Amino acid sequence: MRCGLPALLCGALALGLAGCGEGEGVDDGDRELTVLAAASLTGTFTELAAAFEEAHPGVSVRLAFDSSATLASQAVQGAPADVLATADAATMQDAVAGGAVPDGARTFATNTMTLVVPADNPAGLATFADLDAPGVDYVLCVETAPCGAVGATLLAAAGIDAAPASLETDVKAVLAKVAADEADAGLVYVTDATAAGEAVATIDVPDADAEVLDYPIGVLEQAGDADLAREFVDLVVSAEGRAILTRAGFGVP
């Protein structure tokens, strides 16, 4: 019907506009918490969010996973979010320096890196040093990302000269390529290897414990409900949070 179409358009517009809004929802009692978390926290923070929602009825937690550097710069630019959790101290420092984390951040977990290969290990790699063998295609993150910086250090420490085949933008991309058998090996976090389960096999990186990544978390300056945000941080550092994190392979301070 001709008169139906304008009404439909108005309806769609209203619906869209209703979606815009900060923190507090439109309905009474429905509160929203937005958490920016590094890609390597995908599994754990999804669990933590569910736990938080159970403990706080009426609250819905929105999670945004991306590379730490991207999230930090978004936070500084004032993206509407309440909590920031990064995969290394340096990116959190950038956020703090940018004024996005007024109360500072605390370390809630640690991670180390490991080498993963596709489940059937087509290149037949046995040790970390085998990356130097001819014809091996391995991938790691760009060195501007925390996983890339640490990865590069580990490679240099082990004396690996061979260049990677590609520099992925975040650690999940590295994992994806290895799991899909598009690369012979990749440097990822221990937690990623755990999360990938059967899809990959791991090879220990010598002295990986020397390069520990601290995961800091902090409440953002632009948080809609700072108290609610702090409660979330409290959950993360609580015994329940630590249990979830350890299960995934993180270390806890």
Q: In the stretch 102-141, what mask flags binding to other proteins with x, by CB under 8 A?
A: -----------------------------------x-x--
Q: Is 70 in the site for other proteins (CB under 8 A)?
A: yes
Q: Is 181 in the site for other proteins (CB under 8 A)?
A: yes
Sheet holding 113-118, edge to edge: 166-168, 138-141, 185-189, 113-118, 200-203
With CB under 8 A as the contact rule, the residue among 75, 87, 101, 145 that binds other proteins is 145
> In the window 191-250, what residues touch other proteins (CB under 8 A)?
none
* Count of residues in contact with other proteins, rule CB under 8 A: 21
Stretch in the footprint of other proteins (CB under 8 A) among 49-57, 104-112, 143-151, 203-211: 143-151
Q: How far is the CB of 170 from other proteins (least distance, A)?
A: 9
With CB under 8 A as the contact rule, the residue among 2, 163, 197, 227 that binds other proteins is 163
Interacting residues toward other proteins by CB under 8 A: 67, 69-70, 73, 137, 139, 142-145, 163-169, 173, 180-182
